[in-house]
Amino acid sequence: MNYQELADNIKIWANDLGFQKVGICDVNLQEHEAALQKWLDAGYHGSMDWMARHGMMRARPDELLPGTVRVISVRMDYLPPKAQFATNLVDPTQAYISRYALGRDYHKLIRNQLKKLGQRIEQEVGSFGYRPFVDSAPILERPLAQKAGLGWTGKHSLILDKECGSWFFLGELLIDLPLPVDTPSEDQCGKCKACMTSCPTNAIIEEGIVDARRCISYLTIEYDGVIPEEFRKPMGNRIYGCDDCQLVCPWNRFSSLTDQDDFHRRQSLQNPDLIALFAWDEASFLKNMEGSAIRRIGHVQWLRNLSIAMGNAPYSQDIVEALQMRIGISPVLDEHIEWALAQQRQQIKEKSGIDITHQRLIRVINKGIPRDA
Ligand code: SF4
Ligand code: SF4
């Protein structure tokens, strides 16, 4: 078996399957175990108990799938055309949704493509051990991606590549073939700290370390409880995820657009008006979010997130009435609605609009974001 030739072919096949970059690494992540344990011990994973439950298995792919000796790490770009970062983020009457979630859920697509890659390899080498993983699996996908040469781990803890920035998904195919490995990527952040200083909730507590409990992505997606008050104003109009740390990153000036139609903005999110989205009943939410990752958070959490954004919007009688109509669905939601109504009342008193404190982000937006039309 000529493993070098096979590795070269795997990269060609993976590109044909829609992956923009592919790398191969071994399974030794020992150097990351202490940091992972420290992060878990500090409780930075919040209510994501499954992270602690899986423990060090996340750093040991060969425990997850016995016999694994290599990981094929893949990248799929998701930035849709007409990203409209500024249009949505700066207009407090609109909802901001993380750009990865505007279209279809990526898990199924990437897992299917990885499975096809495994089958293509099988055609070549005969039966072998492999299993695809995407995102939520108990695996340290970012250190693996860095090892495989897909990019380095930025100070915001995401992987970025100097040719394309960070707007991409990662996936892994665990295999039992001893392919030659690629050269790991080197850190290119330098002295930049833009992501750290721009984070609305100061969630990046140290270089490369995010306290998920402070991160808007965690709070709006993973966490279904009462969002601590200290984060509600900084959340602004971000109702599902947050892209600020990527938005300000200088390397994202070179980002590429997705060639997957699935990741384009879906029709029901073309005009993300807060009041219109809040008016969806549960049936409309489920229908409009069919095939979307957003559907997983459920209608009540959707309303909870929107009610915070509505509290942060400039005073409007329509907002007040819409909020009042939703009282009584759940105690958690009621708490956020009461807060939002209090914010609205406060704004009448102060006659002021949204308190936009993220000056650096606004400066970046004013400079013009590529492809923001
Ligand atoms: S996603 Fe938003 S809240 Fe989370 S670390 Fe990045 S900038 Fe901060
Ligand atoms: S904003 Fe700066 S520090 Fe943060 S990931 Fe990008 S280059 Fe690195």
Q: What is the pLDDT of residues 32-41, one digit of tens each?
A: 999 999 999 9
CA pair distance 73, 254, nearest whole angstrom = 21
Which pLDDT score, from 0 to 100, does residue 245 have?
A: 96
Distance CA(342)–CA(158), nearest Å, equals 36
For atom 1 of ligand 2, the residue with the nearest CA is 249
Residue-wise pLDDT tens digits, 40-94: 999 999 998 888 888 788 888 998 899 999 999 999 999 998 888 877 888 999 9
Residue 372: what pLDDT?
A: 52
Angle between helices 331-350 and 298-312 (to 10 degrees): 10
pLDDT for residue 82: 80
* Residues of the chain falling short of pLDDT 70: 136-137, 351-373
Ligand nearest to the CA of 161: 2
What is the rounded CA–CA span in Å between residue 232 and residue 230?
6
* Strand arrangement of the beta sheet that strand 21-25 belongs to: 21-25, 70-77, 168-175, 130-134
| Ligand 2 pocket at CB < 6 A | 154-156, 160, 189, 192-195, 248-251
Specify the pLDDT at position 253: 87
> How far does the centroid of ligand 2 lie from the alpha carbon of residue 14, in Å?
28
- Locate the domains of the chain by residue range: 1-266, 273-363
Instruction: Give the nearest ligand 1 atom to 216 CA.
Output: 3
Question: For atom 7 of ligand 2, which residue has the closest CA?
Answer: 189
Closest C-alpha residue for ligand 1 atom 6: 245
pLDDT given at position 367: 59
Among all bound ligands, the one having the nearest atom to the CA of 153 is 2
Q: Answer yes or no: are the C-beta atoms of 164 and 78 closer than 8 Å.
A: no
Determine the distance separating the centroid of ligand 1 and the alpha carbon of 100, expressed in angstroms.
14
User: Which residues are known catalytic residues?
Assistant: 135
Taking the model in full, what pTM does it have? 0.92
